[in-house]
């Protein structure tokens, strides 16, 4: 049965003009998009919020990144800003442009530049970092900075998301900055500089594209940095109530 079937098949092919000679000449190489590295992009505002402090200070704050690239190489723009609404001035404004490559299953290495253009003197830094997913689902982002003044510092960001339900998500964040040398002009002392801890309860309203949240943020300055702040009439510790949205597109 099977033998007969294949003979019929062969004869059919031969008789209706699908000579293998013709087909062979049409063997082509794959130049379609499928054979190219998949290029993708994304924009994410992890934080886009209004902050109200225990000192009646009002801030507009964002923390966003945009990327473009392939699995093997991405360009990423990270931007963070704190804008004092009453004084109409930036408290901080950081922009980073980094290239990113995978170095392990869960981690990427980053290298690039960071431009700080807040009030006061500008700073440009070289950036070297790793970012990825640590065991137990901690998103971590660790960076080493060397400024154009030669000062070095490091920053560690960690985030953990607790799923109260599949739509109500409690996100805990901790950012810590350490300076290995003093940069008096921008009010940075040696040692642990500052921490920012946040707790935000969000609801995924539109897919994961638009998720409004409320939360609290605690900022603390330490050591010499705290002293510099106090001397300058600033605060060393702030509590904020925040309201905002996480946006991704």
Partner 1 sequence: MKPRFLTGLLSLLMPAMVLAGEYDLTVDRVKIDTGDFVKEGIGYNGASPGPVMRFKEGETVKINVTNNLDEMTSIHWHGLILPFNQDGVPGISFPGIKPGETFTYEFPIQQAGTYWFHSHSGFQEPDGAYGAIVIEPEGREPFRYDREFVVQLTDKHPHSGDRIMRNLKMMPDYYNREQQTVGEFFSDASKNGLMNTVRDRMAWGDMRMMKADVEDLQGFTGLINGKGPDQNWTGLFEPGERIRLRFINSSAMTYFDIRIPGLDMTVVQADGNNVQPVNVDEFRIGVAETYDVIVHPKDEQAYTIFAESMGRSGYARATLAPEEGMEAAVPQLRDPARLTMADMSGMPGMDHGSMAGMDHGGMDMGSSEDMSGMDHSSMEGMDHSNMDSMDHSNMEGMDHGSMTMGKEDKSDPFYAKGSGLMPKAANGGKFLSYADLKAQDPLYEDREPTREIELRLTGNMERYTWSINGVKYEDADPIRLKYGERVRFKFVNETMMTHPMHLHGMWSILDVGAGQWNPIKHTVSVNPGTTVYMETEVDAPGQWAFHCHLSYHAAAGMFRKVIVEGGPDSTQAKTDAIAEDGGEV
Residues 6+ apart with CB under 8 A from 216: 198, 199, 239, 240, 241, 242
Judged by CB under 8 A, the number of residues near partner 1 is 55
Q: Does 103 bind partner 1 (CB under 8 A)?
A: no
Q: Which residue has the tokens 């992009």?
A: 41
Which residues in the 76-95 window bind partner 1 by CB under 8 A? none
Least Å from the CB of residue 217 to partner 1: 22
When the beta carbons of 165 and 231 are compared against partner 1, the nearer one is 165
When the beta carbons of 36 and 181 are compared against partner 1, the nearer one is 36
Largest CA distance in the chain: 97
Q: Are 8 and 28 in contact (CB under 8 A)?
A: no
Residues 6+ apart with CB under 8 A from 16: none
When the beta carbons of 111 and 133 are compared against partner 1, the nearer one is 133
- Selected from 26, 56, 231, 232, the binder of partner 1 by CB under 8 A is 26
Binding letters toward partner 1, positions 42-81, x by CB under 8 A: x-x--------------------------x----------
Q: Does 141 bind partner 1 (CB under 8 A)?
A: no
Q: Which residue has the tokens 């690039």?
A: 112
CA dist., res. 97 & res. 12, Å (int):
62
Residues 6+ apart with CB under 8 A from 199: 170, 171, 172, 173, 215, 216, 217
Instruction: Map 226-244 to HEC letters.
Output: HHHHHHCCCCCEEEEEEEE
Residues 6+ apart with CB under 8 A from 13: 20
Stretch that binds partner 1, among 45-53, 90-98, 149-157, 160-168 (CB under 8 A): 160-168
Q: Does 232 bind partner 1 (CB under 8 A)?
A: no
Q: Does 133 bind partner 1 (CB under 8 A)?
A: yes
Q: Does 231 bind partner 1 (CB under 8 A)?
A: no
Q: Which residues bind partner 1 (CB under 8 A)?
A: 1-2, 5-16, 18-21, 23-38, 40-42, 44, 71, 102, 105-106, 133, 135-137, 162-167, 207-208, 248
């Amino acid at each position: 049965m099977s033998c007969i079937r294949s003979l019929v098949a062969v004869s059919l092919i031969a008789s209706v003009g699908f000579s293998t000679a013709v087909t062979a000449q049409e063997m082509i190489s794959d130049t379609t998009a499928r054979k190219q590295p998949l290029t993708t992009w994304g924009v994410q505002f992890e934080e886009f919020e209004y902050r109200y402090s225990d000192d009646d200070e009002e801030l507009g704050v964002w923390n966003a990144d945009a990327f473009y690239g392939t699995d093997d190489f991405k360009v990423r723009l990270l931007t963070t800003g704190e804008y004092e609404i009453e004084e109409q001035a930036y408290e901080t404004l950081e922009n980073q442009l980094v290239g990113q490559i995978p170095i392990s299953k869960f981690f990427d290495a980053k290298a690039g530049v960071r431009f700080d253009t807040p009030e006061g003197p500008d700073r440009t830094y070289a950036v070297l970092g790793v970012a990825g997913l640590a065991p137990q689902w901690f998103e971590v982002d660790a960076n080493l900075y060397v400024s154009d003044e030669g000062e070095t510092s490091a920053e560690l960001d960690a985030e953990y998301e607790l799923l109260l339900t599949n739509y109500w998500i409690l996100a805990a964040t901790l950012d810590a900055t350490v300076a290995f040398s003093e940069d008096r002009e921008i009010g940075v002392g040696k040692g642990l500089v500052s921490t920012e801890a946040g707790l935000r309860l969000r609801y995924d309203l539109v897919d994961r594209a638009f998720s409004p949240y409320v939360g609290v943020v605690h900022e603390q300055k330490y050591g010499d940095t705290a002293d510099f702040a106090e001397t300058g009439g600033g605060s060393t510790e702030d509590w904020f109530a925040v309201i905002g949205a996480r946006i991704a597109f």
